[in-house]
Amino acid sequence: MKISNVNVYDIENAIKASGYPMETEICDNGIGDNDIIRATKLANANSGGHNQFLSGILVSFDLTFSNKAWVELERYRFITFVSSQSTMHRIAQFDLSKSYNQYVDNRIINIMQELKDKYNKTHDKEDYLRLLYSNPSGFELTARLTTNYRCLRNVYEQRKKHRLPEWIDFCKWIETLPYAKELLVN
């Protein structure tokens, strides 16, 4: 798992907006300690949608994950794929010796290389499908994603003790985001 090109947007505006339900006048004077205290309490409230303001803290990043982890990540409705590498378009061009995580057996990598070489020689549709469908779950692809703190908080709660090491690493990354202790990791 690898994360790069991280950008976090509108964190101060969202923290300030967390107080709007109790305001009669909106002041544009930045955030203070009371805003952080309020936002922390709301982010950690058990029910009632009090953490809705977290949806206004936007996060964009590049993520390299295995096919197995991608299938699980796609269950999160508020993580949007901006663009990603494609096995459909490029499986026959990837350097397979660098494309699999450490859990893929070398014998399987060798078989995949044989299938790739055969397809690149024949360009036969059946050879392409054998290559594509034989690709193991440990194949890694990179995508550009956008999401928000509310979704990342949910991911963290559900995946921090997951069996896949990629999810553990992803949750450790969440812990490094601005105001993560107050807003994300409870």
Name the nearest CA neighbour of 99 among 131, 74, 64, 123: 64
Whether 129 contacts 37, CB under 8 Å: no
**What is the bridge-based pairing of β-strands 80-84 and 58-66?**
unpaired
User: Structural domain tally of the chain?
Assistant: 2
Bridging pattern class, strands 58-66 and 140-148: antiparallel
- pLDDT band per the 50, 70, 90 thresholds, residue 84: very high
- Quote the DSSP letter at residue 47: S
Range of the domain at 113: 104-137
Q: Give the strand pairing for 58-66 and 2-9.
A: antiparallel
Q: Which two tokens stand for residue 53?
A: 């303001």
Q: E strand or H helix at 88, and its extent? A: helix 87-90
22 and 74 share one domain: yes
The predicted pLDDT at position 57 comes to 98
Check whether residue 69 and residue 15 sit in a common domain. Answer: yes
Same domain, 59 and 113: no
pTM score > 0.85 for this model?
yes
Do the domain assignments include residue 127?
yes
Per residue in 127-184, pLDDT (tens digit) is: 999 999 999 999 999 999 999 999 999 999 999 999 999 999 999 999 999 999 999 9
